[in-house]
Amino acid sequence: MLAKRIVVPFAVLTLGAAAAVAGVLNADAAETTACSVTYAVPSQWNTGFTVNGVACTGAAPAATGTATATATRGAEDCADYAALVRGKYWVNNNVWGKADGTGSQCVWENGLSGDNLSWGTRWTWSGDKTKVKSYASAVLGWHWGWKATGTGLPIQLSAGRTVRANWNFRVTQTTSNVMNVAYDLWLHDIATPDWQHNPTDEVMIWLYTAGGAGPVGTRQATVTIAGTTWDLYRGNIGWNVYSFVRRSNTSAADLNLTDFTDDLVARGWLAKSKYLSSVQAGTEIFTGAGQLDTTAYSVKIS
């Protein structure tokens, strides 16, 4: 696994002492709980709705009111670089920066509802507050190789395809965290990259930040995309890294990711001959303890 980068916070941080590590968590059995939904008409019952990040399933009732279904959260996997394949996606327990700290991380997936993946991660990390320890993520496509089929990737930017990504999540900070929640897009100059082919470009889209975390490189511009203001950073860590940092946090995003690559193409920074090989959605953790629950994540290419 190739280390990704070192990311430097915006300012020197004066956080309290990091939480003590309670020990490496082991894989747990799936958890089953009750969940309910209130609806106006029976057709509004959706067998893929979620409660607290857990997918709920059940038969549609015959009348209006509140119905109860079974919710099952997938079993946790706490192995480093665990890969949980579900349909065209896979959940990556990526702990590429763990050598710079102490701690543990676990991931789980709750299944698919149509094209939407429900998954989660929890972590406890201490150590250098300026270095990323992990990036647990849901992956569509390449990540130093391929683990799922039917991804629709790679696609060449010149093809003008739309890459629509929808993501709803919830962050729970058990302690103060230095972290972000972000999309991570990878691009290559070849159409068939494999494990030995490093990317030429990386595009991050930060939706949520905490504790003063900031991207690699320097701020180049402020842009408006999808009706939202973003600070655009540019750096290089052996490949080009472009980071769009949202001025205000959000926990829900429905974006055409092509709008972001188009901005970079218009600046002359990214060639239209490049291939988008991967779309990832996850959380970079520098330090702290907490949990990310993704109720729905989907990527559609048209």
Rounded CA gap, 12 and 4, in Å?
22
Amino acid 73: pLDDT: 80
The structure's pTM equals 0.81
Ranges assigned E (strand) in the chain: 31-39, 50-51, 54-57, 65-73, 83-86, 89-92, 101-113, 116-127, 134-141, 155-156, 163-173, 178-188, 201-210, 218-225, 228-236, 240-246, 252-256, 275-301
Maximum pairwise Cα distance, the chain? 60
The answer to whether 292 touches 170, Cβ cutoff 8 Å, is yes
Say how many residues make up the chain. 302
12 vs 256: which has the higher pLDDT: 256
Question: Taking residues 204-212, what's their average pLDDT?
Answer: 98
Rounded CA gap, 157 and 179, in Å?
30
pLDDT surpassing 60 at residue 41: no
